[in-house]
C-alpha cells in the first residue's frame, strides 16, 4: 500500500501568527554556538520582572537588529536589553551607527 504524503501545515507555527514562528527561526539562526544561554535567560527574566514591577509590558530588544540593511546583530546577551514594549515597537529594526555606543 502506497502512503500519500501529509498536506503541508498552513496553521500558525507559534503563538498566534505565522510571523511568530518566522521570528523564532530567525532568532535561532542568529544564536551562535558559543552564546551563553544562562545570560540570555537572565535578560528575559529581567524583562518579566520589570513588567511585574512597573505594571507595563516589557520586551527583550536587540540593540543591533538581527536583520538590517547595514548590520547583522547576534542573539547574545551583550546584544540584548530589557525595554518597555512601546519603546521596542517604536525602535523597530532601526540602527543608527552615529549614536551607537556599544552594548
What are the residue boundaries of the structural domains of the chain, listed by start?
Answer: 35-95+99-103
**Model confidence, pTM:** 0.73
Task: Give the pLDDT of residue 41.
Answer: 95
Task: Give the pLDDT of residue 71.
Answer: 87
Q: Which residues, other chains included, contact 14 with Cβ-Cβ below 8 Å and sequence gap of 6+?
A: 20, 21, 24
Give dist(CA 75, CA 64) in Å, integer.
9
Give dist(CA 44, CA 21) in Å, integer.
18
Q: Which CB contacts under 8 angstroms, 24+ apart, belong to 4-8?
A: none
Render pLDDT for 22-78 as a digit per residue (tens, 0 to 9). Answer: 778 888 889 999 999 999 999 999 999 999 999 999 999 998 998 888 888 999 999
pLDDT at 2 over 50: yes
Task: Give the pLDDT of residue 96.
Answer: 77
Per DSSP, what are the bridge partners of residue 59? 83
Task: Give the pLDDT of residue 15.
Answer: 53
pLDDT at 81 over 90: yes
Render pLDDT for 86-98 as a digit per residue (tens, 0 to 9). Answer: 999 998 888 877 7
Amino acid at each position: 500500500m502506497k502512503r500519500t504524503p501529509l498536506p503541508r501545515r498552513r496553521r500558525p507555527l507559534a503563538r498566534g501568527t505565522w510571523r511568530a514562528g518566522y521570528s523564532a527561526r530567525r532568532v535561532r539562526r542568529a544564536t551562535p554556538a558559543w552564546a551563553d544561554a544562562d545570560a540570555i535567560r537572565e535578560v528575559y527574566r529581567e524583562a518579566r520582572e520589570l513588567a511585574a514591577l512597573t505594571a507595563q509590558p516589557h520586551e527583550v530588544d536587540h540593540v543591533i537588529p538581527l536583520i538590517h540593511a547595514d548590520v547583522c546583530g547576534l542573539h547574545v546577551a551583550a546584544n540584548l536589553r530589557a525595554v518597555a514594549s512601546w519603546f521596542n515597537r517604536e525602535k523597530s529594526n532601526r540602527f543608527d551607527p552615529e549614536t551607537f555606543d556599544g552594548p
